[in-house]
Structure 1
Amino acid sequence: MIEQSVRVARVADIAPGTATVITPEVSGHPTPIALFHTADGFHAVDDTCTHLGASLARSKVVDGEVDCWLHHGRFCLRTGEATYYPARNPLQVFPVEVRDDEVWLVPGRG
């Protein structure tokens, strides 16, 4: 869980349709976080696939779900729910806010 708001990127740093990894040193969270810039905004989830540990920031987003590049398990970006085998366990989701031209992780569920 994020305990205090933290600026993690500028909007221009992450092109639409791409993602980046937010390291623990930046976020203060103990594990890496994948930050996706989709058509409907920014979404942040655990960067580590719950199936075999692949980095999800390397994956594509299809219909609001991240499709893991390694074995194609899928997860909902809004809820973290595993939606397609071999993904079984959910991802942690982190609330995101855009403030002017900056992207922030904010306290909340997660």
Structure 2
Amino acid sequence: MISAGDLNKRIKIQGKSSDEPQYDHDGYLIENPEPTTYSVRAKVKPVSAQEYHKAKADQTENITRFIIRYRKGLHVDDSMKVIYKDRVYEIESVINDNEANITLTIMGREVS
């Protein structure tokens, strides 16, 4: 179980804009719809050098682990991005920890 004090950072999870046409409240087509963005509290932890080595990842990559509370209705997948402190991370994987619907662990790779 993760305590509320551990979730001490604010991140944004941003989805892609839908490929389907979107309309405003008057019925007019929205030309460039804004992507869906969720703001959530998270525990942010860079992946250690030892974990890099085990994964045989490129040492120049900045991989970060984001742990958030599971929220029913919040779908997070690898087509989305995490925004933290004006840095953008591509989502590499999303894990429902212990399949318990309590926390999600998101592994993100920083986009240069």
TM-score, length of structure 1 as denominator length? 0.29
Instruction: Name the larger-Rg structure.
Output: 2
TM-score, length of structure 2 as denominator length? 0.29
